[in-house]
Structure 1
């Protein structure tokens, strides 16, 4: 199993530090606190490198896969976390995978049939450490695959199983919003389901329906 060989640092990781509120790509609205989503920009071991080290090590990088010459390869997977207020926070984490798995996931994503892609499964080590769990979940053994009910043609894999006690709790328990939505994610704490209103706008040249937004959302 490919992994990085360095001591953990007792400081916030680069991937955590670069969390940001996701922008809406379909309109001029802000992020939706009813469905908060956060992609961690790089795997922790890559983010921990200095800028020059990243430039030297990274051989390929996209929003879904990262390959390096020194610390292995990584692929994106989604980690949904249920909140006690009924919402789900979705983290786009990274999983460290071996070379053969990297080649197989790349090939299926690029040239595989829909059926082949949807039955894809792989194992790896968790390479992200979002707060509040932090580095105690790094290197957790995890499995990932494609949800059977996904409506998308090439959906991002989800974490499906783990033997790690804390990651098992993350995947199966409900968490208090104030415990999970910290730091740069705190914007999603401003959520009031009773204040949501559906705003429907019909344009003279083509109508559209905007998603429900909080009453105090700045447009």
Structure 2
């Protein structure tokens, strides 16, 4: 049996997954935000859901494993341990997805903390608009 809410998937016999934001800073001042799935242990997903229902998630940190290949680093970051930050509320009152804040994996840690050439990360798919 699988339960899916859009941001959470609970797949019996497979695991519990949360959709998160993984920010990548570019050398031109932009930030690319990749949406990714993170595997959470049952106790962690239960705590996450309880905190969401009690509106007590902001500022909370929890651990999981990255379940997506990301950009040019591909599968080298699969199953990397991650620390997630609790969801925050946007200015319009909508809830934003949890963010990947850090990782003890050397490569994913660099992805999160270093600034990357835009051409390396996004190529020419999203060119910067010329300044006027």
TM-score by length of 2: 0.86
Q: Runs of 4 or more off by more than 2 Å in structure 1?
A: 146-155
- In structure 1, stretches of 5+ residues that fail to align are 1-57, 196-219
Residue among 80, 99, 103 paired with 2:23: 80
Contact kept, 8 Å, 2:20 with 2:38, in 1: the verdict is yes
Q: Which whole-Å CA distance do the structure 2 matches of 1:117 and 1:125 have between them?
A: 19
Q: Which has the larger share of helix?
A: 1
Larger Cα-atom Rg = 1
Change (3 A) 1:105 1:174: same
CA distances 1:81-111 after superposition (whole Å, capped 9, x unpaired): 11111111011111100111111212222x2
Q: Which has the higher contact order (CA 8 A, sep 6+)?
A: 2
Change (3 A) 1:148 1:64: closer
Is 1:112 the counterpart of 2:54 in the alignment?
A: yes
- In structure 2, stretches of 5+ residues that fail to align are none
Residue among 187, 201, 210 paired with 2:125: 187
Aligned alpha-carbon RMSD (Å): 2.1
1:105-184 alignment runs, 5 A limit: 105-109=48-52, 111-113=53-55, 116-146=56-86, 151=91, 152=93, 154-182=95-123
Would you say how many aligned residue pairs link Structure 1 and Structure 2? 131
TM-score by length of 1: 0.54
Measured after TM superposition, the shift of residue 154 of structure 1 is: 3.0
Is 1:68 the counterpart of 2:5 in the alignment?
A: no
